[in-house]
Structure 1
Amino acid sequence: MALYLGLTLVPILIGSLAAVSCALLGNFLVLRRQSLMGDAISHVVLPGIVAAFVLTGSMSAIPMLLGAAAAALLAAAMIEIVRVYGKVEPGAAMGVVFTALFAFGIVLLEQTDTGSIHFDVEHALYGNLESLVWLAGIEWAALIDPIALSDIPPQLPRLAMALVVVVGFLAVAWRPLVISTFDPTFAAAAGVPVRLVNAGLIILVAMVSVTAFEAVGAIIAIAMLICPPAAARMMTDRLLPQIAWSVAFAILAAAGGYVAAGAGVALFVEGVAVSAAGMIATVAGVTLLLAAAFGPRRKGAKA
């Protein structure tokens, strides 16, 4: 059972922390009709992360965040240039810039020598969740052993801290965030710092995307920002229950997807390896499909 703790529960916990952090913020993106903002951010940060890795040679959190911030600023400037000088509408300009930057990030990553660090195109998309095991956690005594605890994958405390920051932001900015989400015009008239709140939300989405990037890749970050909140929206029309539903769906996708990628798939097809990140995203998509089909608040359902 202790071996199960180190080899299975730790990756599931890492995936769940990333999923819950994304889902909490994704609720407000869904309600603001900005669901694709998470997709856009995940595309934009890639070249910044790769550039930071090239310059520093490490996957430390601070350089990654700084690189992602620089990439976001570059993207904003490029969008404005394309919009003004190309005379195209903002949506088209954003689509061109986001796609171009993501493609540039992939090309840059392919040309980068990562040495012994697991950082390549495959890990950028699917993450590295299967290898984030706690080899020292083969005995329950490891839970109180400082030496064994120091061997825990660093992604675990990073994602735990990211979740704490997200929860802290929601607790502190709850009222202005809710008001500006449901009625931004009234919020501005009432003196709510709408732009500051919006900026804080987007910054946290970028932070969570970057923090989750190495562990779970871009696919899970995108899926968790959209699927659990969208599924939760079909279960209730009240905000707090929606958030609770989204957290439950996120944990279900992370745990169920990881197990299904391992033992679950082996029950049907022997010797087939399935990406944990891909299966987690698949479970999240199936959850959304079921909520769309049977959720009490789906379109056309009786109240």
Structure 2
Amino acid sequence: MADFWIILTGTLVAATCGVLGCFLVLRKMAMVGDAISHSVLPGIAIAFLVSSSRDSLLMLVGAAVLGLITVFLIQLLQQGGLQSDASIGIVFTALFAIGVILISRNAAHIDLDLDCVLFGEIAYVQWDTLIWNGYDLGPVAVWMLGGTLVLVLAVIGLFYKQFKLCAFDPALAAAVGIPVALFHYLLMGMVSLSTVASFESVGAILVVGMLIVPASTAYLLTDRLSVMLLYSVLIGAVSSAGGYYAAKWLDASIAGAMITVAGILFVLAFVFSPLHGLMARYQKRRKLKTASA
């Protein structure tokens, strides 16, 4: 039963991050996901210090607020003339450092440490269960991640056309009256929620892998957004299951093995994708040379 809960938790993380990751990759904002995953740390710390509780809902709110602040600060620095990569680096390192100080100074003797926040341990998810009226309803992480996935799918489903147009052509989206900034911050808010919802199971650092790698792999396999979203979820699910069994075989980190499997799938797609793979591009160049000869 423990195997089932671990794989299910990894799959929920991969599905949530995979859907959002597609839009980050298309909008060339992959590193913003990395920045948010680090900068939510002070939001988690502040939520804990205010409430003296590790209540997941409060941490979700704290992380979402800090995620939006991160995006706002990055945009502000870019508008001030700073390059995109420099803006991201400055904001997330500064906020991450503040979070480290808050936790090390105020929560040193409490079960809220940097290893928990940054690395997580998916092998322990089955021990923290939700009890309702005396009934064991399963791991808290599964319910929290499942709820986050439902929320993400609901928002993307309701505003799919708007998110799609904003991802491919923001100028056209603004011209037809779509509030591009609103959907930008809505996407970033969902990335923040997904990051903190995953930090106890996969970890805030490793969730970056699930945000970017499956989506990037799917990007190489199709030119249609709807298919890309489906492929990203499937690749994340395969990475979770394959990574778990690989970790058992190697006696290694489960979360690390999941990202490693995702990386292997990306390399395979990068080389053998019929649309954008190295082999396909090589064959196209050969055909062009043959035709021109």
Q: What TM-score do the two structures reach when normalised by structure 1?
A: 0.83
Other-structure match for 1:58: 53
Rate the CA distance shift 1:76–1:201 in 2: closer, same or farther, 3 A. closer
> In 1, distance between residues paired with 2:141 and 2:267?
30
- The separation in 1 between residues aligned to 2:67 and 2:270, in whole angstroms, is 33
Q: Counterpart in 2 of 1:205?
A: 191
The CA deviation at 1:73 is 5.5
Q: Which residue of 2 aligns with 1:97?
A: 91
204-213 or 290-299: which moved more?
A: 290-299
Q: 1:278, CA displacement in angstroms?
A: 1.4
- Displacement of 1:71 after TM fit? 2.8
Partner of 1:141: none
Residue identity matched to 1:261: A
How far 1:66 sits from its partner (Å)?
A: 2.9
Structure 2, gaps ≥5 residues long: 285-293
| Offset at residue 294 of structure 1 (A) | 1.4
- Opposite residue 277 of structure 1, the aligned amino acid is A
Q: 1:49: which partner in 2?
A: 44
SS class of match (1:234): helix
Distance 2:128 2:230 in 1: 33
- 1:236–1:297 contact (8 Å) kept in structure 2: yes
User: Offset of 1:97 from its aligned partner?
Assistant: 2.1
- Contact kept? 2:41, 2:99, Cα under 8 Å: yes
Aligned equivalent of 2:63: 68
Distance 2:15 2:242 in 1: 14
User: How many positions carry a matched residue from both structures?
Assistant: 279
Quote the Cα distance in structure 1 between the aligned partners of 2:227 and 2:64.
33
Distance 1:81 1:62, change over 3 A: same
The 1:223/1:71 distance shift into structure 2, 3 A limit, reads same
Q: Secondary structure at the match of 2:7?
A: helix
Q: 1:14: Cα distance to partner?
A: 1.1
- Counterparts in 2 of 1:218 and 1:185: CA distance versus 1, 3 Å: same
Separation (CA, whole Å) in 1 of partners of 2:207 and 2:167: 22
After TM superposition, give the deviation of residue 220 of structure 1 in Å: 2.8
For structure 1, the residue ranges without an aligned partner over 5 or more in a row are 137-144, 267-273
* Secondary structure of the corresponding residue to residue 149 of structure 1: strand
Aligned to 1:194: 180
The residue that corresponds to 2:255 in the other structure is 277
Partner of 1:181: 167
Amino acid across the alignment from 1:105 = G
- Aligned partner of 1:281: which letter? I
Match of 2:122 in 1: 129
Using a 3 Å threshold, how does the CA distance of structure 1 residues 82 and 171 change in structure 2: closer, same or farther?
A: closer
2:30/2:212 contact within 8 Å kept = yes
In the alignment, is the contact (CA less than 8 A) between 1:219 and 1:281 conserved in 2? no
CA distance in 1 between partners of 2:77 and 2:175 (Å): 33
- Contact map agreement 1:219 1:277 (CA 8 A) in 2: no
Partner of 2:136: 149
Cα deviation for residue 91 of structure 1 reads 3.5
Q: Could you say if the C-alpha distance between residues 24 and 298 of structure 1 is closer, same or farther in structure 2, counting changes exceeding 3 Å? A: same
Q: How does 1:237-276 map to 2 (within 5 A)?
A: 237-262=223-248, 264-266=249-251, 274-276=252-254
Q: Tell me the C-alpha RMSD between the 2 structures.
A: 2.6
Q: CA deviation at 1:213?
A: 1.4
1:32-47 equivalence runs, <5 A: 32-47=27-42
C-alpha deviation, 1:99, in angstroms: 1.2
Query: 2:20 — aligned with what?
Result: 25
CA–CA distance in structure 1, aligned partners of residues 162 and 69 of structure 2: 29
Which residue type is aligned with residue 102 of structure 1?
F
| CA distance in structure 2 between the aligned counterparts of 1:76 and 1:238, rounded to whole angstroms | 27
Q: Deviations over 1:27-50 (max 9, x none)?
A: 011111111111011011011102
TM-superposed CA distance for 1:76, in Å, is 5.7
Deviations 1:177-198 (A, max 9, x none): 1112111111111122222222
Instruction: Report if the CA contact (8 A) 1:220-1:280 is conserved.
Output: no
Alignment check: 8 A CA contact 2:217 2:269 kept: yes
CA deviation digits over 1:205-228, x for unaligned, max 9? 111111111221113310011000
